[in-house]
Amino acid sequence: MKITLEQAAEKLMTAKKFLLTAHVNPDGDAIGSTLALAALLRAKGKDATVMIDDKLPKNLSFLPGYDKIVRPEEGKKADAELLVILDTSLDRIGEVGKAAAGLPVLNLDHHISNDEKADFLYNDNRAAAAEIVFELVERLGGEFTPEIATPLYTGIATDTGFFKFSNTRPETMRAAARLLEAGVRPEQVSEALEEKPESVVRGQAAALQTMELSYNGRVAGLYLDKELATSLDTTEGFIDFVRVIEGVEIAVLIKCMDENFCRVSVRSKGLDVSKVAMKFGGGGHIRAAGFSVKKPLTEAKKDVLDALGAVLK
């Protein structure tokens, strides 16, 4: 059932024990929005646990509450009254769904590809899920403490490419300004996100060696085999290296995580790649989407390029 933001706020105030989660392969917005909402709920005297079914990006470890994020345990049910899903829909939370089986679901999202299967859904075309949480803080009379403001700014900044992407709106900039007024140091956030271990920098160089251009240079791709993909703590930002190539309309990054499992990220300069993601059971925005393909790298690459070719036509 679709609800208003006011109704979502009422749901948050009614329950006392929450389980919060976001999508697998989490990014700055997924982690930032869940941590900020958890901090808001705790400030309201409630119990809130953040559970993510995936490895967490180390470059987000500076966020308050990062070290309290837990992973689902096989066969163990979560002790909560309400499952809150941020930045994705019910189909992309992995094993958290089993841990939360039977719980009512409140979904706060900003993706057009949302599957709309949650019991209560608030989905609005914001720049980031963190922007939705920002408004919830204001509506509920919360204080923009460091535990709330820093994750929110991080979520908004990363999902807008540090305010470079087309999803950056006046409201987005006003929210960011309010967070700066609350004490967020943008240079500290950007420096923390940009800092990489030597292994990742070397991994970037290795990833660039896999670059291929397709469709007369309209698609640029990075194709990481299992050895390379699993050796890297993060591939955040890798796709941008090829997205900026002159003449490229779509950039794709495929990571082979296992013999028959690949993760795919797609970016475009205007074409709708969310349709491609939805075809493979994923989701996202018109210009940025992600999904998984349960095939070896070679086969996944062919299927994805075929699907991107259809978009180019």
Q: What is the pLDDT of residues 132-178, one digit of tens each?
A: 999 999 999 999 999 999 999 999 999 999 999 889 999 999 999 99
Domain of residue 119 covers: 5-193
Helix (H, G, I), strand (E, B) or coil at 56: coil
Lowest mean pLDDT among 84-93, 167-176, 188-197: 188-197
| Per-residue pLDDT, 232 | 87
CATH number of the structural domain spanning residue 22: 3.90.1640.10
Residue type at 3? I
Both 79 and 119 in a single domain? Answer: yes
Both 238 and 161 in a single domain? Answer: no
User: Would you give the distance in Å from CA 107 to the centre of its chain?
Assistant: 14
Q: What is the CA radius of gyration of the chain?
A: 19
| End residue of a domain, out of 193, 220, 241 | 193
| End residue of a domain, out of 169, 193, 217 | 193
Lowest mean pLDDT among 182-186, 189-193, 217-221, 233-237: 233-237
Both 223 and 171 in a single domain? Answer: no
| Per-residue pLDDT, 298 | 97
Q: Quickly count: other Cβ atoms within 10 Å of residue 202's Cβ.
A: 13
What is the number of structural domains in the chain? 2
Both 175 and 42 in a single domain? Answer: yes
Rounded-to-integer distance, Cα 298 and Cα 313, Å: 23
Rounded-to-integer distance, Cα 231 and Cα 305, Å: 25
Max distance between CA atoms of the chain, in angstroms, equals 58
Reported as a pLDDT band with limits 50, 70 and 90, residue 16 is very high
Both 180 and 208 in a single domain? Answer: no
Reported as a pLDDT band with limits 50, 70 and 90, residue 73 is very high
Rounded-to-integer distance, Cα 88 and Cα 242, Å: 26
Both 170 and 267 in a single domain? Answer: no
Tokens of 178: 């309010």
Task: Select from 140, 132, 138 the least CA-distant residue to 159.
Answer: 132
| Per-residue pLDDT, 86 | 98
Both 234 and 221 in a single domain? Answer: yes
Contacts of 159 (CB under 8 A, 6+ apart): 27, 28, 29, 127, 128, 129, 130, 165, 167
Both 180 and 267 in a single domain? Answer: no
Helix (H, G, I), strand (E, B) or coil at 175: helix
Which residues, listed in sequence order, are joined to residue 283 by a DSSP beta bridge? 290
Angle subtended by helix axes 5-14 and 129-139, to nearest 10: 70
Both 221 and 305 in a single domain? Answer: yes
Tokens of 306: 């075929």
Calculate mean pLDDT across residues 100-104.
Answer: 97
Both 178 and 228 in a single domain? Answer: no
Both 168 and 203 in a single domain? Answer: no
Q: Quickly count: other Cβ atoms within 10 Å of residue 302's Cβ.
A: 11
For the chain, the average pLDDT equals 95
Both 188 and 211 in a single domain? Answer: no
Task: Select from 244, 230, 228, 63 the least CA-distant residue to 158.
Answer: 63
